[in-house]
Amino acid sequence: MRTLDSDTSTMEGKILLIGNHPVHQQQACAMLKQLGAQVCLTTHAQAAVDQVLHQQPDVILIDMPFPLSDENKTAIAIRQCSGRLKHIPIIALTADEMSDTDRSRLRIDGISDFLSQPFTSTQLQIVLKRWLAVSRHDTVEEENTSTQAVIDLTQLNALRKINPSSGDSILKKLITIYLKSSPGFLAQIEDAITTTDRVVLKRAAHTLKSSTANVGATRLAELCKKMETIAETQQITDASAVLSEIQQEFHLVARALETLLQETEHP
C-alpha cells in the first residue's frame, strides 16, 4: 500500500518519468529519489504505454517539449488502457512558454495537472502529494468497488424512469457528453485563475457545476459552486486551493462514471 507522510519530506510511491531531455531527467530523478519515491524512467514516448503496463506506476510525469510532439499522444494512449491504469494521474512537466490553448488541449487529451519548469523539490512534492493521494483513493475504490462513493445514483436513475425503454441509452449519452466536455471547462477555470479573469471563472464554474449536478456528482458540484462564489466575491486568491480539490474530485468522478458507462454497455 502506498503511503504519504505529511510530517516529513519523504513519500512512498512508484513514479514513471517519461522524457528524453538528459538535464531534465537528472534533475527530476534526483528530486524524486530525495523525496523517497521509487523512480522508473523511459526515454521513448512511443513505448510509454508498454512501460505503464509493465511498471504499474502510481503517478506518471511526462516531460512535455515545446512545441508539442509525440508526448501529447502518449497521454491519449494511456487513457485508452483498461482498469486502474486508465485513471493513473498524469502530470505534464511543461515549458513556461506553453500557451493556455495548449494546456487546455492537453487536459482534454488526459493530462491531470501541470508543473512548469524549472521547478523546486518543494513544488514537485506538493504536486505529487496531491496526486498520490488520488491514486491511493483509486486503489481503495477498486478494493471496495463503490461508485456511490462519488456519485449519487438518484439523479441518474430518474433519467432511466423518464422512458424505461430507452433509459440506458439516455444515460449513456449524458455521461459520454459530460466526460467529453468537462475537461474543457476545467481548463477554462484554470486559465481564468491564472489570468484573474473573474467573469470567465464564474461562467466556467457555473457551467461545470450544472452539468456535474446532472450526473449526480454532488461533492464536485458543491466545489464548483464554491469556485463560483469565489469569482462573485472577488476573492480569487483563494481559487487555487479549491481548484486542486476540484481536479482531484473530478478524477474520481470521471472514473466512477466510466465504470457506470461500462456497466450500461455490458449489463
Domain ranges of the chain: 14-141, 146-265
Cα(186)–Cα(246) distance, integer angstroms:
8
Q: How far is CA 34 from CA 12, 58, 120, 125, 236, in A?
A: 11, 17, 12, 10, 34
Q: How far is CA 87 from CA 6, 63, 132, 136, 229, in A?
A: 24, 19, 12, 12, 30
Degrees, nearest 5: CA angle 179-182-186: 145
Lowest-confidence region among 24-38, 40-54, 109-123, 141-155: 141-155
What cell was used for 45? Answer: 514516448
Residue 140 has pLDDT above 50, yes or no: no
What cell was used for 69? Answer: 510532439
User: Is the pLDDT higher at 74 or at 37?
Assistant: 37
Class of domain 14-141: alpha beta
Q: In what side-by-side order are the strands of the sheet with 59-63?
A: 38-42, 14-18, 59-63, 90-95, 113-117
- Structure confidence at residue 224 (pLDDT): 95
- Please provide the CATH number assigned to the domain covering 146-265: 1.20.120.160
- Structure confidence at residue 4 (pLDDT): 36
Residue 33 has pLDDT above 80, yes or no: yes
Cα(78)–Cα(75) distance, integer angstroms:
5
With b for 16 or more beta-carbon neighbours within 10 A and e for fewer, the 42-56 pattern comes to beebeebbebbeebe
- Structure confidence at residue 152 (pLDDT): 81
Residue the block writes with cell 477554462? 188
Cα(149)–Cα(185) distance, integer angstroms:
23
User: Residue 73 pairs with which residues in a beta bridge?
Assistant: none
Helix (H, G, I), strand (E, B) or coil at 207: helix
Residue the block writes with cell 494512449? 77
- Structure confidence at residue 249 (pLDDT): 86
Lowest-confidence region among 58-62, 124-128, 169-173, 212-216: 169-173
Helix (H, G, I), strand (E, B) or coil at 105: helix
Q: For 75-111, how does the pLDDT look when each residue is reduced to its tens digit (9 = 90+)?
A: 778 877 766 677 788 898 887 666 767 777 777 777 8
